[in-house]
Amino acid sequence: MTVRVRFAPSPTGYLHVGGARTALFNWLYARSEGGVFLLRIEDTDRARSRPEHTQAILDGLSWLGIEVDEGPVFQADGIERHRAHAGALLESGAAYRCFCTAEALAERRAEAERTGAGHGYDGRCGRLEEAESRGRAEVGEPFALRVRVPAEEIGWVDAIHGPMSFPAGSIDDFIVLRSDRTPVYNLAVVSDDAEAAVTHVIRGDDHISNTPKQIAIYRALGLDLPTFGHVPLILGSDGKRLSKRHGAMSVLAYREKGYLPRGMLNFLALLGWSPGDDREFFADASELTEAFRLDRVLKKGAVFDLEKLAWLNGRHIARSDVSDLARSVLDVLTEAAEAGGTDLAATHPTIQTDAERLASVIELVRERPRTVPALVDQVSPFFALEIEYEQAAVDRFWKRPDEAAGALRALESELPEVSVWEAGPLEAAIRGVADRLDVGAGKVINPLRLALMGQGVSPGIFEVVELMGRERVDRRIATALGYLDAKTAMA
């Protein structure tokens, strides 16, 4: 049997984190079983479905690298089949015509609320004689179709939760076809899943209450049941259901924020799944596929932790292909230059032409940044014509401008004496300056880092000085001295 799974989003918004996680689990399962991953757009809610949302879902999947094997198919295209299945349910007696109007139902519900009686449908139209039911339909009285739920326990062996069941009498007769002949979700899903020969329905825990109804439909239609697996809800750090407040948003918003698709994929995979050991870093989809097992999906809610996403993304930046990172860096800087009305060749001369140097810089700085913009901030000073000084770093490391200038001035006269411009001799020279000034090395290194990088963090300063090159280092120190002297004069 070939495993066939599907992701069935409603195109009523972007692809959010929870949807992407459901898609990913289906996809990983299909990949790990040599199966097929289908995409079905559940667009029967005409008022809320939009083509741009379908596109956003496709874009989100494609950014993550989740490839669709079949589809997208659109649920609304199956409406005649859904009606035919509803007709078959009526034919066999598994469903009946319900003539209760919306108003009558609402009234009964209000009454039940007052008296504390059960809220569900009382099954009255199910007790009509067939002749009466047919007769009322023939004279044009509107009716919906309701499934007559058998008075028995409905259970299944969930691929994630194990045995689950709903006791007899806990599910009311439910509508499958409205009086305007539009199919209801539970019918459309069963019809579509059966049509597509879906073998495993893997979806969020919020659908558990739909599953017994769908099982009742499968049975009534004589269709083979798929295996159901319900993945745990994603919770915010406060234990509440994930919402925008927790940073739950479109997966594409994470692209905008500078997360790598692999970092995001890795993060999503760990939302409710673990490989069974303490492994957390998965370099790519094939490593995930190899480790993924449906029965290792957790039963309990998964916590959405942005700190973990940032950490994982940082690990991916540290391990990505340098050429991929270079492309991302160039894209971000190009966009920034264009936004400033100029171009990259003007703001960062040689960054596009000296690929080798760009690669060396990326290799040097990539351990620390957790997002692409943070990586760009570290790469940029090695190529930028001008840098800005980050205020927080200025307040911290150039607090006493005269002292900082003193250290930089000493470096200005010492560094030209370094004949081999390499980290080792540079370190000796810089530490020598600190000794001569009789200050700790930090009093020289920190002001220097700010002068070179414009910020308070960088990789090892001696490697930074080496890679930045003699000329640029000289120039940066001179610029910083101009700034510091002006500041001292103003004080």
Residues near ligand GLU (CB under 6 A) are: 8-10, 42, 189, 203, 207
* Residue (7 or 267) nearer to ligand GLU, CB: 7
* Residue (230 or 262) nearer to ligand GLU, CB: 230
- Least Cβ distance, residue 30 to ligand GLU (angstroms): 15
The helix/strand count (H/E) of the chain reads as: 21, 12
* Residue (214 or 458) nearer to ligand GLU, CB: 214
Cα separation, 361 vs 375, in Å, equals 10
* Residue (45 or 280) nearer to ligand GLU, CB: 45
Active site residue 244: yes
- Least Cβ distance, residue 398 to ligand GLU (angstroms): 54
Alpha-helical runs (H) found in 123-282? 130-138, 185-195, 211-221, 251-256, 261-269
* Residue (44 or 347) nearer to ligand GLU, CB: 44
| Nearest of 61, 38, 32 to residue 275 by alpha carbon | 32
Out of 244, 300, 308, 399, the active site residue is 244
Ordered DSSP codes for 341-388: TS-HHHHSTTTTT-HHHHHHHHHHHTTS-SSHHHHHHHHGGGT-SS--
* Residue (66 or 189) nearer to ligand GLU, CB: 189
- Least Cβ distance, residue 132 to ligand GLU (angstroms): 36
- Least Cβ distance, residue 330 to ligand GLU (angstroms): 38
Q: Which two tokens stand for residue 277?
A: 């050991």
- Least Cβ distance, residue 241 to ligand GLU (angstroms): 14
Give the DSSP letter of residue 178. Answer: -
- Least Cβ distance, residue 256 to ligand GLU (angstroms): 24
Tell me the one-letter amino acid at 488.
Answer: T
Three-state SS at 41 = strand
- Least Cβ distance, residue 147 to ligand GLU (angstroms): 17
Cα separation, 263 vs 283, in Å, equals 8
If phi > 0 it is left, if psi is from -120 to 50 it is alpha, else beta; for residue 325 that is: alpha
Residue the block writes with tokens 């209801």: 184
| Beta carbons of 21 and 242 less than 8 angstroms apart | no
Cβ–Cβ contacts within 10 Å for residue 140, how many?
Answer: 6
* Residue (19 or 126) nearer to ligand GLU, CB: 19
Cα separation, 125 vs 133, in Å, equals 8
Cα separation, 199 vs 194, in Å, equals 9
CA distances from 83 to 76, 176, 183, 255 (A): 12, 9, 7, 41
Nearest 5°: the CA angle 283, 382, 440 is 95
Cα separation, 149 vs 220, in Å, equals 10
Question: Which residues belong to the active site?
Answer: 244
